[in-house]
Each structure stands twice: as C-alpha cells, then as structure tokens.
C-alpha cells in the first residue's frame, strides 16, 4: 500500500469532534500515540476508537492491555455505554490482558518479546482485526529490566504493526519533560495526540491537542474534551470557519417596538444577538418574547436556562401574556435548565451542542451567558462562544444570548469580550425618575441594516412589551 502525500487514508475514530480536527480520523495502517497524565482519558480515547471501529466502521479490533484486567476494564467503560463482553462475544473484538509481575520473573541471558508478537498476531488473525490498541505498553519497562532489549523490540513491534497495515493506537504516560515517560514519541512519528486534565478553581477541564500528524492538515488548538455518560467528545463538533451563508431573510424579535427599531422587520435569520442589561431590566422577558414568536411561526426552539427552572419561566412569562407551555406541549419548544457551576465549561458547551444537534432548532436562546462565565475563565468563555456561535450560524439558527451587566456599568466590556462576535446588540436599562423606575431599550448595533439610534422607554404589560404611545409614533429605523 502506498502512502503518498495527499492520499493519506484516515480511519474515523467515531469520537465527536476528533474526526473534525484530524480531518477524518487517524492515519490508516499506522500507529498513533495518545499520551497524557493519569486520568486524562487515554484509555477511553483508545477504546472509543476500537469500539466505534467494530460498531460503526466494520473494523474488528484487538485490545492488548498492560494495565487493568479485562473485567475491571469492561466495568469502567460500561458507564460510557460500551459493552465490551458483548463485542467480544460477537467475535469482533479481542481483549488480551498482559500481566507482567516482576516479582515472579527471573531474567537470565538473552531473550526477545516474540511471545508478545505471537499473541498479537494470533489475536489479530482470529478476528481479522484492522485496529489495534496497546494500552499502556510502557508498563513493559516496569516489568522487565533489560531496556536495550525492550527498546529494540518496541521498534520492531511498531514496524510489525505498519507491515501488517494495522491502524493502531498506543497510549503512553506523560513524562516530566517529555511527552511520554519512555520517549515513545521517538518511535511513533506519524501522529501524536496529547490529552490534558487540569483543575482550575475546583472545576475540571480536559483538553486535547494534535501535536503531530504527518502528511495531514490538522487543527492545532487545544480543544476542550469531554467525558460523560454519552461517551467522549471533542469540541468543536463542527470545524471552525467563516464560510457560513448570510441569509437576508428577517425574523421578528417577538417585540413589535423592537422590530420597528430594526427597520420594522426584526433580526436577520441566522444572526446572533446579544441582549444585555442590568438586573431587572427585562432581558428574560425579551428573550421569552423571541421564543414565543419563533414557536408561533412554527419554528423549533431551544431555550437554555441557566438561572431559572422551566416551570418558573413558564409561570413568570404568563404575567406578560406569553403562553410558553403550549409550545412545550406541541413539541416546538425544548427547555434545558442547568446550573453551569455543576459542570465545567466544556461539559456545559458539550451538553448544549448535543441538544442543538439532536433537535436541530431554528431558534436558540441562552439565558444567560453571564452564568457561563461563573463556570470558567473569561478566555475559555470567549473561545467557547466563538465555537457555539459558529455552529449556530452554519446551521442557520437565529440566536439570542442574554448577558447581565453589573449595576452602573452599561457599556464596558462586561460581556466576556463577546460583543464583537455578535451581529446585533440590544441594550436594556433602568432609570429612576422621581419614585418610578423606567425601562429603556436601545439597539447598540445591528450589522447590515439601518436601525434606530434612539433609546425608547418601554413597559411590560400583561399584553406584552409596549412602548408608550407618545414614543411609538417616532419608532423607526433612524431618528432624523
């Protein structure tokens, strides 16, 4: 088999996102090194590659594990939805548990690791394996003492895997100054993936980086990486780019005065809108009005609640004349309520991605992104929102993000530095005049359309959001 550049074949891992950042998967017929510290998820990445191969790509596999015994392993991965015993019983997966107990081994004279080769070949042949995982082969170094022999045999093993055209994942423990303790990266030069697991302010985040991928274009960032009951995912699920379309169709904001301020026609479809203001200004009411209007148009809508429960929102919005419950009942509206502090940022983003992928809505509301900021560092928030927004745009989904501005500070960069990502920015504020609090709404920006430069007073009534009659006449795209 020839491996000419540009014609590198790839074996999909089936891990959401990883196949995107690798441009299709791991190099076919070659070994890939997956390294990281303890608990970074190396084994799970390797196993997902193997199990998905069997399940989805008709590629039987062999797992040679040097660390855990097969029962423990099966138990650990069962929580991810992998049924190893079943796959083994189906004859498409073989697990060979290699145990090396130094205390019962005496070394005298020359030897090689032909036994390992024999076992691997036997396993590969018996299931017709295309994929092989060696996890973690470095354990050989703690089990056997002749390092020269081990290194020579390791080199021979990697050559053997290539000769057999097996797509292999070899895991390695992160070393102090090297990618792996035993310098496996010297032997495996085709592809190297590094996993990282760190805890910041009590929130754990996982990252994945493609250190090397010979002969292939690949993403070079550190990507958030997630392990949960649905398995593994690497974000972004879609590749980043700025090639999404720019529909000219307009959709109502659900608030007549706001539509009027936007030239009478509302936002562009597939645009992303930031709705910011201090506490009590009516952000959620505006967002809910948008949701209501979207559902009334017959669009599927996904509403991420990070502050209130669905029941609370449904109850509260009745007071401004919105019946959201009917849309939940008809299936057009899905509400996802989660407090972000319960998970890390990545967990949250991944959850949102999944929900979006599953229901493919036309409209999305996140209320609010301020709550997401409490779940991670500001830089990660921005990176995360870039990915989320990109995804929404590619899928032509119109989205509103609400953001809480701390009291007093209206315009400063209190939105996680995300305002530049937004197509439109609507600002709501409170002003005290005498003994009355007055609400104001203004369009700070709205790319690609004339819009009002005036701030209007508005009230929330049981019939919805209204602008006083005196102002209503003046509503228009541009104040002259």
Partner 1 sequence: MPLLSGRLRVEPVAESLEERTPAETDRFVLRLYIAGQTPKCMRAFTNLKRICEEHLADRYRIEIIDLLQNPQLARGDQILAVPTLVRHLPEPVKKIIGDLSNTERVLVGLDLRPDPI
Site stretch for partner 1 (CB under 8 A), options 115-123, 279-287, 333-341, 360-368: 115-123
Token pair in block for residue 405: 């501005």
User: End-to-end distance of the chain based on CA atoms, in angstroms?
Assistant: 72
Q: Can residue 4 be called a binding residue for partner 1 (CB under 8 A)?
A: no
- Contacting residue, 107, 249, 357, 413, with partner 1 by CB under 8 A: 107
Q: Which CB atom, from 104 or from 202, has the smaller least distance to partner 1?
A: 104
Q: Can residue 121 be called a binding residue for partner 1 (CB under 8 A)?
A: yes
- Contacting residue, 5, 6, 58, 108, with partner 1 by CB under 8 A: 108
**What x-and-dash track marks residues 123-152 binding partner 1 by CB under 8 A?**
-----------------x---x--------
> 162-167 long-range CB contacts below 8 Å, 24 or more apart?
162/29, 162/30, 162/31, 164/124, 165/1, 165/28, 165/29, 166/29, 166/124, 166/129, 166/130, 166/131, 166/132, 167/11, 167/26, 167/27, 167/28, 167/29, 167/30, 167/32, 167/59, 167/130, 167/131, 167/132
Site stretch for partner 1 (CB under 8 A), options 3-11, 118-126, 369-377, 429-437: 118-126
CB of 113 to partner 1, least distance (A): 6
Q: Which CB atom, from 76 or from 96, has the smaller least distance to partner 1?
A: 96
- Collapsing DSSP to helix, strand or coil, 376 comes out as coil
CB of 149 to partner 1, least distance (A): 8
- The enclosing H or E element of 444 equals strand 436-446
- Contacting residue, 46, 116, 192, 313, with partner 1 by CB under 8 A: 116
Report whether 134 contacts 171 (CB < 8 A): yes
Neighbours of 223 (CB within 10 A): 23
Interface with partner 1 in residues 66-105 (CB under 8 A): 96, 98-100, 104-105
- Contacting residue, 5, 58, 110, 243, with partner 1 by CB under 8 A: 110
- Collapsing DSSP to helix, strand or coil, 313 comes out as helix
Q: Which CB atom, from 94 or from 193, has the smaller least distance to partner 1?
A: 94
CB of 107 to partner 1, least distance (A): 5
* Burial class, 410, CB count within 10 angstroms (exposed 0-12 / middle 13-18 / buried 19+): middle
- Contacting residue, 39, 81, 91, 115, with partner 1 by CB under 8 A: 115
Neighbours of 101 (CB within 10 A): 7
Distance CA 123, CA 1 (A): 23
Q: Which CB atom, from 184 or from 295, has the smaller least distance to partner 1?
A: 184
Q: Which residues bind partner 1 (CB under 8 A)?
A: 96, 98-100, 104-116, 118-119, 121-122, 140, 144
């Amino acid at each position: 088999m020839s491996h000419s550049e540009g014609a590198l074949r790839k074996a999909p891992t089936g891990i959401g996102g990883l196949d995107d950042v690798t441009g299709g998967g791991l190099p076919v017929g070659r070994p890939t090194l997956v390294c990281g510290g303890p608990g970074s998820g190396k084994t799970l990445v390797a196993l997902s590659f193997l199990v998905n191969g069997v399940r989805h790509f008709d590629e039987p596999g062999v797992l040679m594990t040097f660390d855990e015994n097969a029962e423990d392993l099966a138990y650990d991965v069962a929580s991810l939805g992998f049924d190893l015993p079943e796959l083994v019983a189906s004859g498409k997966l073989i697990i060979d548990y290699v145990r090396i107990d130094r205390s019962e081994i005496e070394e005298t004279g020359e030897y090689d690791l032909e036994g390992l080769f024999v076992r691997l070949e036997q396993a590969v042949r018996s299931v017709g394996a295309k994929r092989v995982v060696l996890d973690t082969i470095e354990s050989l170094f703690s089990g056997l003492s002749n390092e020269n022999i081990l290194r020579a045999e390791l080199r021979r093993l990697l050559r053997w895997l290539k000769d057999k055209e097996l797509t292999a994942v070899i895991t390695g423990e992160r070393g102090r100054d090297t990618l792996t303790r035993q310098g496996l990266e010297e032997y495996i030069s085709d592809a190297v993936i590094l996993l990282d697991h760190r805890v910041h302010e009590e929130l754990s985040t996982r990252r994945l980086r493609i250190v090397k991928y010979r002969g292939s274009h690949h993403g070079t960032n550190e990507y958030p990486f997630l392990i949960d009951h649905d398995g593994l995912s690497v974000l972004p699920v879609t590749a980043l780019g700025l090639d999404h379309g720019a529909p000219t169709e307009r959709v109502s904001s659900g608030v007549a005065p706001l539509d009027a301020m936007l030239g009478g026609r509302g936002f562009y479809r597939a645009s992303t809108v930031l709705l910011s203001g201090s506490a009590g200004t009516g952000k959620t009411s505006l967002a809910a009005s948008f949701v209501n209007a979207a559902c009334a148009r017959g669009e599927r809508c996904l509403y991420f609640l990070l502050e209130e429960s669905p029941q609370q929102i449904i109850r509260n919005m009745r007071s401004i004349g919105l019946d959201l419950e009917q849309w939940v009942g008809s299936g057009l509206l899905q509400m996802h309520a989660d407090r972000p502090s319960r998970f890390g940022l990545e967990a949250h983003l991944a959850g949102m991605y999944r929900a979006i992928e599953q229901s493919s809505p036309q409209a999305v509301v996140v209320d609010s992104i301020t709550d997401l900021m409490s779940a991670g560092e500001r830089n990660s928030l921005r990176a995360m929102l870039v990915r989320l927004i990109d995804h929404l745009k590619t899928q032509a989904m119109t989205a509103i993000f609400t953001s809480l501005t701390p009291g007093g500070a209206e315009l400063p960069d209190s939105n996680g530095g995300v305002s530049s990502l937004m197509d439109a920015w609507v600002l709501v504020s409170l002003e005290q005049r005498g003994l009355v609090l007055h609400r104001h709404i203004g369009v700070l920006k709205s790319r690609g359309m004339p819009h009002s430069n005036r701030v209007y007073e508005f009230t929330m009534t049981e019939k919805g959001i209204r602008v006083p009659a005196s102002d209503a006449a003046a509503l228009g795209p541009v104040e002259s």
